[in-house]
Amino acid sequence: MLWYKPGVETSRCHKVQLKTGREILLCLGDSGGQGNLWTELYEEDLLNPKGSLMATESHIFAVFDNTLACAYYDNSSTLKHTVLEKIDFTNAPGDRQTMSVTFSLGARVMAPEAKDACTARPQHRASFLPPMRRHTLDFVFDGHNFEPTPSSGALKKRLGLK
């Protein structure tokens, strides 16, 4: 270690080199409350650290899960279950770094009586989980930012992901 910035969590980060040769971190952070969980992939620049464990407007990828809340805190009454499975980094031709994010996503509309039953019997919560579908989004690092490939950008938009 060459230096330390207090309050910046780096245990779930991957080093990425900018075009200038300087390195930044690509980090995975999550936060939640009352049964809701947000998981985000974001850039952390230690010359200007956020130190928040979460992205703000600078996230690259974000997913939401409200299974522990049985969809009670979602105005649309949709139970959303998301599992981030893996993140792969590779070097493409021309020293371009790529990243693939694989995750499973499922959603189900919960009627009021289903939400009540889900919260009343947490031991049976798994029976309310929606069917899941696996997706992979690909990103290319342009030397400054990770941007989704055109097909991944369209999929990200279709799935309603940030």
Phi, psi (degrees; rounded to nearest 5) at 136: -130, 130
Asked if the structure places residue 8 within a domain, the reply is no
What is the DSSP code (8-state) at residue 122?
G
Structure tokens at 52: 């928040």
Asked if the structure places residue 7 within a domain, the reply is no
CA gap 110, 127 in Å, rounded: 12
Asked if the structure places residue 5 within a domain, the reply is no
Asked if the structure places residue 109 within a domain, the reply is yes
Question: 120 CB contacts (<8 Å, ≥6 apart)?
Answer: none
Asked if the structure places residue 145 within a domain, the reply is yes
- The pLDDT confidence band at residue 23, using thresholds 50, 70 and 90, is confident
Query: By residue range, what is the domain housing residue 66?
Result: 13-158
Domain count, the chain: 1
Could you count the other beta carbons within 10 Å of the beta carbon of residue 143? 12
Please determine, for residue 90, whether its predicted confidence score (pLDDT) is greater than 60.
yes
Please determine, for residue 107, whether its predicted confidence score (pLDDT) is greater than 90.
yes
Asked if the structure places residue 4 within a domain, the reply is no
Asked if the structure places residue 118 within a domain, the reply is yes
pLDDT tens figures, 115-127: 888 888 888 888 9
CA gap 122, 135 in Å, rounded: 28
pLDDT tens figures, 26-78: 888 888 888 888 888 888 888 877 655 555 556 788 888 999 888 776 666 89
Phi, psi (degrees; rounded to nearest 5) at 121: -130, 75
pLDDT tens figures, 122-145: 888 889 999 999 999 999 988 878
CA gap 139, 118 in Å, rounded: 37
Residue 86 bridge partners (DSSP):
102
Asked if the structure places residue 150 within a domain, the reply is yes
